[in-house]
Amino acid sequence: MLSEQEIVRREALAQIKALGIEPYPAAEYPVNAYAADIKENYNQAEEEADRNYQDAALAGRIMMKRIMGKASFAELQDSTGRIQLYIARDTICPDENKDLYNKVFKKLSDIGDFIGIKGKTFTTKTGEISIKVSEFTFLSKSLRPLPIVKEKDGEVYDAVTDPDFRYRQRYADLVINPAIRDTFRKRTLIYSTMRKYLDTKGYLEVETPILQPIYGGAAARPFKTHHNTLDMTLYLRIANELYLKRLIVGGFEGVYEFSKDFRNEGMSRFHNPEFTQIELYVSYKDYYWMMDMTEEMIEQVAIATNGTTKVQVGENVIDFKRPWKRYTMYEAIEHFTGIDISEMDEDAVRETAKKLHVPTDPSMGRGKLIDEIFGEKCEAQLIQPTFITDYPVEMSPLAKKHRDKPGLVERFEGICNGKEFCNAFSELNDPIDQRERFEAQLELGKRGDEEAMTLDEDFLRALEYGMPPTVGIGIGMDRLAMIMTNSNSIQDVLFFPQMKPEANQGKEEDADE
RNA sequence: ACGCCUGUAGCUCAGCUGGUGGUAGCACCUGACUUUUAAUCAGGGGGUCGUGGGUUCGAACCCCACCGGGCGUACCA
């Protein structure tokens, strides 16, 4: 069923065609100016001829019409912003035939239509820089009405806030809430800042398989698929760690990849089934070096996206200025609970967890219990960027044992705004130790841990050829983007977040036929 | 997955203790208007009150189930 407004627009389309006007022309429209540039640079002085925009040609959507008889105003929204158009009947229709104004503009053009206009820039008597239109061309007729958002003095009226609408119809959201484009521009700026930083250091951006016969590199449940020709099960990667390490074995000194990873787990405002990490591996370095590098790189990201190291996130101002705080995991737990668990055995840690009202279950080993205590009692309180170091070995089957703290690995996580956003370690490169760790994981799997890692023989073969000492890091790009853009939900930093299927999609499609 | 909140026109929202769905604003249609800017003025159309049951003389409102959405919790990045 078409709404009244949709029927009206289809009728307008038919009338446009009946007037011999092509509503979807093929030819290039020669744009020579943009709304934001004109507003910023317009200068009517004679000697500023290059900045007076007297032959401006713009293209964009009509976003507002104010019809006033023989002259009207409209707002044109292009990729840079909006500018007011002044459309006088006798200017666009110098001859006897006033159809272009009376019919085409006043009746047949709608909010949302793409048009091209040519005209002279001037300032109205109320001081608004506007274009006096001399030519008006349909570029694309819009058949579906956009919700209209109005604004005055910075206050927005009738803003479309329905998240369902915004996420499902992001294309419309971007049109009517153009401020969100900034969020996505910033997201891209985060990528380009990091890419520039890493390229300058000489590291190689690479691509590795998304379809993997054995998923590894993290603890998570995968999406499973099937390749017909090879008749084999393939998994969508949950991480790319093991492939990047193979490239370190192959002799690259530094490799990185912005990688879409896939985890078949719950969704929340911090989780989307597909998400992006950057993983970076550098040989001959250790996790101390990586902490320094991470601070420097993320500080640059903050400055690039916010102009300063200080970023407003919710109610907090987070300062990414180096150096960040560093706690070992034991120190962090002692700091927030007053209890030193570093010397405790598994039973004592379990008792401590119970005393702190941290939920436990019998399958948890000492490492998992410590991780739970940290997650419950410490993580949410770490607002400013902080490195937590030296994790229990049980939790980190790919990390190198600590050079002088038994039972721990050389690992750190970066925490910010109460959430982990990166995870790094001095990589385990002892192939015999690595095999034992994988075997321990297999044991955990037998005990019912669905996220236990599987044993990857090919990866072990690579390690046996020899991998240099290497440090690696994974940074959650979506989480980083949330922080840098002050977004409360991962859905706000993904153009097309995963959604449940639309309830009446089938019906709608039938109606469209 | 569980708990709490929520669903009224294309959008934003009123709707009292259950008594005929709102003269609501924007959008849309008709008309007026050559410097307006949330344009204004006069008129008009538009609804399966998320869906299906139940209670009741009577349900947008109360009850149940289902379907969307939000926020927490859990798993995790």
Q: Can you give the pLDDT of all 513 residues of chain A as single tens digits?
A: 688 889 999 999 999 999 999 999 999 999 999 999 999 999 877 677 778 899 999 999 999 999 999 999 999 999 999 999 999 999 999 998 999 999 999 999 999 999 999 999 999 999 999 999 999 999 999 999 998 888 887 778 778 888 888 888 899 999 998 888 999 999 999 999 999 999 999 999 999 999 999 998 888 888 999 999 999 999 999 999 999 999 999 999 999 999 999 998 888 889 999 999 999 999 999 999 999 999 999 999 999 999 999 999 888 899 999 999 999 999 999 998 899 998 898 889 988 888 888 887 777 788 888 888 898 888 888 999 999 999 988 888 999 999 999 989 999 999 999 889 999 999 999 999 999 999 988 887 787 777 778 889 999 999 999 999 999 999 999 999 999 999 988 999 999 998 877 654 333 333 322
The boundaries of the domain holding residue A296 are 180-319+395-406+416-493
A488 CA: nearest nucleotide by C1' = B71
A478 CA: nearest nucleotide by C1' = B77
- State, as a whole number of angstroms, the distance between the CA of A10 and the C1' of B14: 33
Which residue has 């997201």 as its token pair? A187
A449 CA: nearest nucleotide by C1' = B75
Q: What is the pLDDT of residue A17?
A: 95
CA distance A366 to A346: 5
My answer on whether A266 and A131 are in the same domain is: no
Domain membership flag for residue A164? no
Q: Residue A486's domain is classified under what CATH number? A: 3.30.930.10
- Among protein residues, the one whose C-alpha sits closest to the C1' atom of B38 is A150
The secondary structure element, H or E, covering residue A13 is helix A4-18
Strand B, nucleotides covered by protein (CB < 7 Å): 1, 10-13, 25-30, 32-40, 45-46, 67-77
My answer on whether A293 and A342 are in the same domain is: no
My answer on whether A329 and A306 are in the same domain is: no
Domain membership flag for residue A244? yes
CA distance A65 to A106: 9
Residues β-bridged to residue A471: A282, A426
- State, as a whole number of angstroms, the distance between the CA of A363 and the C1' of B33: 79
Domain membership flag for residue A95? yes
My answer on whether A10 and A66 are in the same domain is: yes
Domain membership flag for residue A172? no
- Among protein residues, the one whose C-alpha sits closest to the C1' atom of B73 is A268
Domain membership flag for residue A119? yes
Domain membership flag for residue A477? yes
My answer on whether A53 and A124 are in the same domain is: yes
Domain membership flag for residue A94? yes
My answer on whether A21 and A122 are in the same domain is: yes
My answer on whether A238 and A283 are in the same domain is: yes
Contact A466, A234 (CB under 8 A): no
Which DSSP symbol is given to A271? Answer: B
pTM of the full predicted structure? 0.91
- State, as a whole number of angstroms, the distance between the CA of A144 and the C1' of B27: 12
- State, as a whole number of angstroms, the distance between the CA of A507 and the C1' of B55: 32
My answer on whether A441 and A485 are in the same domain is: yes
My answer on whether A261 and A402 are in the same domain is: yes
- State, as a whole number of angstroms, the distance between the CA of A507 and the C1' of B66: 18
A272 CA: nearest nucleotide by C1' = B77
Per-residue CA distances from A66 to A155, A306, A435 (Å): 19, 37, 73
Q: Which of A87, A122, A146 is the last residue of a domain?
A: A146
CA distance A257 to A266: 25
Q: What is the pLDDT of residue A46?
A: 67
CA distance A262 to A191: 19
- State, as a whole number of angstroms, the distance between the CA of A63 and the C1' of B27: 12
A440, A445, A446, A448 alpha-carbon torsion, rounded to 10°: 140
Q: What is the pLDDT of residue A507?
A: 34
CA distance A113 to A136: 12
- State, as a whole number of angstroms, the distance between the CA of A131 and the C1' of B58: 60
My answer on whether A57 and A93 are in the same domain is: yes
Count the helices and strands in chain A (H runs, E runs). Answer: 16, 20
My answer on whether A263 and A363 are in the same domain is: no
My answer on whether A446 and A371 are in the same domain is: no
Contact A84, A73 (CB under 8 A): yes
Q: What is the pLDDT of residue A508?
A: 33
A422 CA: nearest nucleotide by C1' = B77
Domain membership flag for residue A371? yes
Of A370, A385, A380, the closest CA to residue A418 belongs to A380
- State, as a whole number of angstroms, the distance between the CA of A419 and the C1' of B4: 24
A145 CA: nearest nucleotide by C1' = B10
- Among protein residues, the one whose C-alpha sits closest to the C1' atom of B31 is A69
Structurally, chain A folds into a number of domains equal to 3
- State, as a whole number of angstroms, the distance between the CA of A449 and the C1' of B75: 12
A263 CA: nearest nucleotide by C1' = B76
A163 CA: nearest nucleotide by C1' = B69
HSE-up (13 A, CA, CB side) for residue A298: 35
Cα A109 from chain centroid (whole Å): 35
Of A283, A211, A269, the closest CA to residue A240 belongs to A211
- State, as a whole number of angstroms, the distance between the CA of A165 and the C1' of B69: 10
- H-assigned helices in A232-383: 241-249, 287-306, 329-337, 346-355, 366-377
Q: Residue A70's domain is classified under what CATH number? A: 2.40.50.140
3-class SS letters over A304-336:
HHHCCCEEEECCEEEECCCCCEEEEHHHHHHHH
CA distance A182 to A150: 19
